[in-house]
Every structure is written in C-alpha cells, then in structure tokens.
Structure 1
Amino acid sequence: MRVVAKFGGTSLGSGDRIERAADSIASTVDAGHEIAVVASAMGSTTDDLLEDITFETNDADRAEIVSMGERTSVRMLKAALSVRGVDAIFLEPGDEHWPVVTNELGEVDVEETKRRATALAGRLDGVVPVVTGFLAEAHDGTVTTLGRGGSDTSAVMLGNYMDADEVVIVTDVEGVMTGDPRVVEGARNVGEITVDELRNLSFRGAEVVAPSALSYKNGHLDVRVVHYQHGDLLSGGTRIEGQFESLIDMRETPLACLTVAGRALRNRHGILADLANGLQADEINVDAVASGMDSVTFYVDEAVAERAEAVLHETVVSDETLSSVTVDDPIAAIRVTGGELPNRPGVIQTIIAPLAEAGINIVDLITSATSVAVFVHWDDREEALDIVQGRFD
C-alpha cells in the first residue's frame, strides 16, 4: 500500500508530538507500506513569521521567509525518523528531486509536477521522503507558495500524482464531527463524508481539509482525516469519498415558484418552519428555497402547485405578519455544479451576463459553495441551457 501522510502544524507543535508522528510513520514502514510525508510548519510558525514581516518586501522574499517554518519541520521529522532506523530524506525547494513546480502565473505546472511526482514515487522502496508542505518552486528556482491550506493541497496533489492508495491528513480534530464539540454536546465523529458535503462545510467555516486540496482528489484515491493522538495512520478518523464532478443539467419537469410576502417576515422567528411544515404535512417536496427581506420563495413541482398554494395560504391567513402568496409557473431550473466554482472569480457573471445579453429574464439565482442554480421561465429553458453550457465548455 502506498500512503501520503500530511502532518499539520498542531501535530508537529512540540518535540513530543514530532516523536509521536515519527512513531506512526515508522510503524507504517514496519508494516511493509510505502509512505511519503508532507510536513507543515510547527505550530503557528508561519502565521508568526507573517506577522513579523512589518516592512516592505517583494513576493519572492516573503515566500523565502515564510518557508523557514516548513524547512525546520522536515529536518526535525527526518532526524526523528533516522534514530528509529527509518531511511528518510527531506525535500525542499531547490532539491533536485523536489516535486511541486509552478508556472509564470504562480499556478501549479501540472505536467511537470506529475513527472517529478512519478519519479519520486519510484524512489519510495525503502526510503521515506519528508516534503515541505505549502511550498512550491518556479521554473527559475524561486520559492513560491500554494496559499492558505497549502500543505493539504501538497498532500492530496502528491497522493494523486504519485498514484497513492490513500492520503492521510493528520490534524488536531477527530476527523469530521457532527457539530463543533466546543459548542454542542454529544458531537461524534462522522465515519464517511463526500467531497461535495465537505467542500460545502469547508467554505462555511469547517476547518478540516483545505477546500483547494479536495479538487486534486480523484475517485480512486482515499483521503482520511485522523487525530494526531490516534497513532495509527492506516485506520480510524473520517474517510472522504468520491471526487468533484463538473456538471450542467436542467430539471426535466417544470417547477412552480410560490412566494409568500410579509412586512415583518424577517423578524418573525419560526415562520419558515411554519411554512415548510405545512408543505411537509401534505407530502409536498421542496426543490429549492430562496429568501428575501420581506418574502420567502418555495420551488415545488408544477404538478402540485395548486395544493402547495392552498397549504401556504392557510398559514398566510392565520398569521398577521404575512400578507399574501403568489404563484408563477412554469419555471425551469438549470444547475451548474463543480468543485472549482468557489475558486473562479466572476463565475456568477459568467453565467448571468450572456443570459442578459440574450434577453432572458432570470427569475431567481441560488448559490451554494459548489453550485449555482439559475431559474428561468420554461419557454426560455433550451436557449438558456445552450448559453450556459457554451460558456463553461
């Protein structure tokens, strides 16, 4: 089995934790597995270095300075492995075997990085490379970085390009939890989660795996998150399943758009529950929900629009904060899904600008971390779908 293990700053935050990390790596080697290691800077070293740069400096010098945290970590971890009888080497930018290369735009040079990662994988028999996370090297030898969460990106990228069986992210959390254990009681570990679920959580505050790293995960590469105290790199934690799929599709059947208006709706606690519970009681499925300052809109299948209107109307007449319910149909829903959407500045403009140029009115636009749903009138659906597909293809 071939494993890439990434140790975060907390898991390398002291001499004792470095020894713990070295023990888990040595155990993996003793079990007959190939392993490459990606190391973050110890503790908060990178943040501390960035705070200390209070003077004017260029990007190249800044990258050299902040690289010192990772450069220290790999030397310490290599030394700890050596005393355990593990044949380890450390790799940093400038080394002839360094794998992660960026182009003149600062983006990963995929072809060259794949070539170097493949060569590094060929050296894993009996040797453990300890690679500085977060860092990269430009073609001219300049040190560059992969941005926030770059060590996670380094690990999953190398796991992909080195044809690893698994990437293990060693951090200070018990994998993905059902809630923040510092806030809610009874939070427990989630055994499995999809990349799409985790990406949405990551972009909404969950600090488990850097969102930029997940785009390098393919369907054949397992990724797990384990706590540094766990000790076993090959079990436990949360397994991240699947891979991002870029998809543009259109709902086959029309929707109805039901809007409930109310002058104080935004200040009335429980109003959304009252409206949604009424639809649930009548077994009406809600395809999407959008809310405004004084209104909330439910999208349901057009075939149940009359029932849905009657249900919502009952709530409207019984609640003095609500004014009216209206129905607009038929509506088409076109959804753009892809793991890279959050990293594409102007992606919303890419979708709506050509629709506006074609004179197509957008009824609604609903976004999440990894998808955009565009609602247009049913008669405009085919033209709108062709336009959106053309822009993304």
Structure 2
Amino acid sequence: EVIIVKDVPGVYQADPKLFKTSKIKVITADELSTLSSLGAKILHPDALSYKKKSIRARIIRHGEDLMKEGTFIDGEVKREISVSSSPLSLITIHYGDEFPAGIFECLSSYEIYGISMGSSYLGIYVKEEVSDKIAGKLLDFFPQHRIVKKDGIGMVVLKKKTPKDRPGLINKVTEILARHGINLVELSSIGREIILYVSFNDLGRVLNLLTKYG
C-alpha cells in the first residue's frame, strides 16, 4: 500500500479551506487525476500516472496515525478514445444580449453531449433522434430567439493518461485530420480530455487515425 501524506485528511467534494464540505471515502485514480488537472490542489496532476490497478493508495493527513482511513484511491489512470454510438445534432441559439435564462431547466429531461458558447450564441449537442422535439421546445420557451439545427454529427473524446502529454497535442490532432481531408465541426478541451465533433460519416476514419497516430 502507498500512503500519501498531505495537510488534509483526504479528498473532499470541494476545497475544505473555502467550503464546508464532506470527505470522500473512495475516489478513482482517473477522476482524481482529472480533478487535479482542473485545479484541485490535493495532488500534482501527473502523480498518479504510474499507479497500477493492483496498487492500493490512500491519502491521510500529516501527523495522523497511519491506520487512519483517509481517502482510498482506486484503480488506475486511463488513456482511452471513445466515440458517440449514434448521430448527434447541434442546436444553436442566437440570443444577442439576452441570455436564455432557464434553458438548462428546460432541457433537464434530455441527455446533453456538449455545450459551446460564443459571444451571443449557445450551442447544445443532443441526440439527433430527439433534436426536432428539443428545438421545438426551445422555440416555445424562447420565442424571441433564433434557433438553427445541424444534424449528422459524431463526437470523439480523446483522454490522455497525463496532462504533460498535452503540449502540442491539439495541433497534432487537427493536423492529422486536415491531412486526411476530415473537417471539424468543433473542438473543445477540458482537463485531460480533447473533444472533437465531426461528421458522423467520418467517425470511423477519425477513430482509426487517432488510434494509429495518437
């Protein structure tokens, strides 16, 4: 077992120095690495990149008994590529100076696969099979806004094992796709993930290229 000694007795739902929050008893190595890459200061984002699934790890506070429970870190950090199994639609709302307050409550019963923001536009990725229904609902709730829809989109999520792999990665990915004539609908990045939106018809080619060169 590896015991990691910190100035807090484990991992919390939020920074315990700023918020009154509960300690987490068990967290996956994958989730903790991602949270660290997004700003959580409990561990360096690369600290768990060499942890094997078979290794038990635990975080406790400095000065406490080593038998204290702390937070257990389960599993290992994953590197993976996943794709959407069915076509998505991008529904875009042009809201000008008036943001459509309540939009997420309006869509709470639907799965959302991505959100993008512009200076006066909000884009939402949803399943194509329900996109007409969602667009109609948005028009009913926000008749003052203009709404457009683009169908036939596929989503690819590229998750790297460690954030240090990130420098130049986005440029590398876009160069590979451009070299093979694949157009991007959109690209976004958060934590250890790069999310690509492409034509659903290109999804298989994109997966093969990223697996081969990524």
> Under a length normalisation based on structure 2, what TM-score does the superposition of the two structures give?
0.92
Listed as ranges, the gaps of 5+ residues in structure 1 are 1-165
Q: In the alignment, is residue 177 of structure 1 matched against residue 5 of structure 2?
A: no
Contact 1:341 1:371 in 2 (8 A): no
State the structure with bigger RCO (CA 8 A, min sep 6), 1 or 2.
2
The one-letter amino acid paired with 1:179 is: A
Q: In the alignment, is residue 208 of structure 1 matched against residue 36 of structure 2?
A: no
Contact 1:173 1:227 in 2 (8 A): yes
Higher share in helix: 1
The equivalent residue for 2:106 is 278
- Render the CA deviation track for 1:170-208: whole Å, top value 9, x for unaligned: 1101211112223223x1211111122212221222111
The equivalent residue for 1:292 is 118
Superposition deviation, residue 259 in structure 1: 1.1
> Quick one: distance in 2 between partners of 1:211 and 1:386?
28
Match of 2:138 among 309, 312, 315: 312
> Quick one: distance in 1 between partners of 2:36 and 2:206?
31
Match of 2:179 among 347, 352, 357: 357
Contact 2:37 2:163 in 1 (8 A): no
Contact 2:33 2:77 in 1 (8 A): no
The residue matched to 1:214 in structure 2 has which SS?
coil
Q: In the alignment, is residue 245 of structure 1 matched against residue 78 of structure 2?
A: yes
Superposition deviation, residue 314 in structure 1: 2.4
Superposition deviation, residue 341 in structure 1: 4.4
Residue identity over aligned pairs, in percent, reads: 27
Q: Aligned runs of 1:212-223 on 2, under 5 Å?
A: 212-223=46-57
> Quick one: distance in 2 between partners of 1:287 and 1:178?
24
Superposition deviation, residue 342 in structure 1: 4.3
Superposition deviation, residue 278 in structure 1: 0.6
The equivalent residue for 2:161 is 339
Aligned residues: 214
> Quick one: distance in 1 between partners of 2:18 and 2:163?
30
Superposition deviation, residue 252 in structure 1: 1.6
Superposition deviation, residue 362 in structure 1: 0.5
> Under a length normalisation based on structure 1, what TM-score does the superposition of the two structures give?
0.52
> Quick one: distance in 2 between partners of 1:208 and 1:289?
28
> Quick one: distance in 2 between partners of 1:288 and 1:342?
25
The equivalent residue for 1:19 is none
Contact 1:262 1:295 in 2 (8 A): yes
Q: In the alignment, is residue 370 of structure 1 matched against residue 203 of structure 2?
A: no
The residue matched to 2:32 in structure 1 has which SS?
helix
Superposition deviation, residue 301 in structure 1: 1.0
Contact 2:36 2:44 in 1 (8 A): yes
Listed as ranges, the gaps of 5+ residues in structure 2 are none
The equivalent residue for 1:45 is none
- Render the CA deviation track for 1:123-156: whole Å, top value 9, x for unaligned: xxxxxxxxxxxxxxxxxxxxxxxxxxxxxxxxxx
Contact 1:175 1:190 in 2 (8 A): yes
The one-letter amino acid paired with 1:292 is: G
> Quick one: distance in 1 between partners of 2:13 and 2:22?
6
The residue matched to 1:306 in structure 2 has which SS?
helix
Match of 1:385 among 207, 210, 214: 207
